[in-house]
Amino acid sequence: MSRDEERWLALERDYRRQVRKAYYRREEDFATLVQYNDYLEEVEEIVAGLVDEKQRPATRARLDKLRAADPSLTAHNRARLDEDRNAMSAAVEAERREAQQRAAQRLQEAKEAAEEEARAKAELQDEVAAGKTREEAPKLMTASAFLPREAYEDAPAEMSAICRAGGHSEKIWRQRYEQEAFGATGLWFELPAA
């Protein structure tokens, strides 16, 4: 955008503010939508006249006449416009604060969950190191030694095909299986009752 265009837009904005300050009506001030649309067209004509240097003096006189016609209605409508803007700004600010509070709450919940998970992991490690068991272990997990073997585990060709279909080798499959089976979350010790 060139400097002339920017200057022209700034000038037009300034004239629109002047017109609104001098002659501002709302849709509810008119009996019909046609009358309101006529008012909007009149505002556009006034702005165009103020931008055009040749028409500016006559347009200023027209605007002064409109300003004098009903200044209380214009003042009332400007006050309502300011109220609407303030209410909108307050609503936006309240929504922003609420979003910040929700984000802080989510962050706090995530932090608490991570702390709880770390605490539970440390507790489990301490129990395992001390040789203690958990009472709920048999309910949560059956020892894999007691589970029936899958048919494909005894057929090397079928096992190889299944591993390839999964996108990895049998060696990787077995390694992952062992990690899951013997990892800290997969180990539950059950000691015989004394």
* Within-domain flag for 76: no
Structural domain boundaries, residue 159: 133-194
Q: Which residue has the higher pLDDT, 108 or 139?
A: 108
* Within-domain flag for 158: yes
Give the whole-angstrom CA distance, residue 37 versus residue 145. 84
Percentage of the chain lying above the pLDDT 70 cut: 79
Q: Looking at the 3D structure of the chain, how many domains does it have?
A: 2
Domain-ending residue, one of 13, 43, 69: 69
Amino acid at 177: Y
Mean pLDDT of 80-103: 92
Q: Which residue has the higher pLDDT, 141 or 23?
A: 23
Residue 138 has pLDDT above 50, yes or no: no
Residue 64 has pLDDT above 90, yes or no: no
Domain-ending residue, one of 69, 94, 121: 69
- Are the C-beta atoms of residues 40 and 83 closer than 8 Å to each other? no
Domain-ending residue, one of 15, 41, 69: 69
Q: Which tens digit of pLDDT belongs to each residue from 25-35?
A: 888 888 999 99
pLDDT value of position 23 = 84
Mean pLDDT of 92-119: 92
Residue 117 has pLDDT above 70, yes or no: yes
Give the whole-angstrom CA distance, residue 102 versus residue 135. 38
- What is the maximum span of the chain, computed from C-alpha positions, in angstroms? 108
Q: pTM score > 0.95 for this model?
A: no
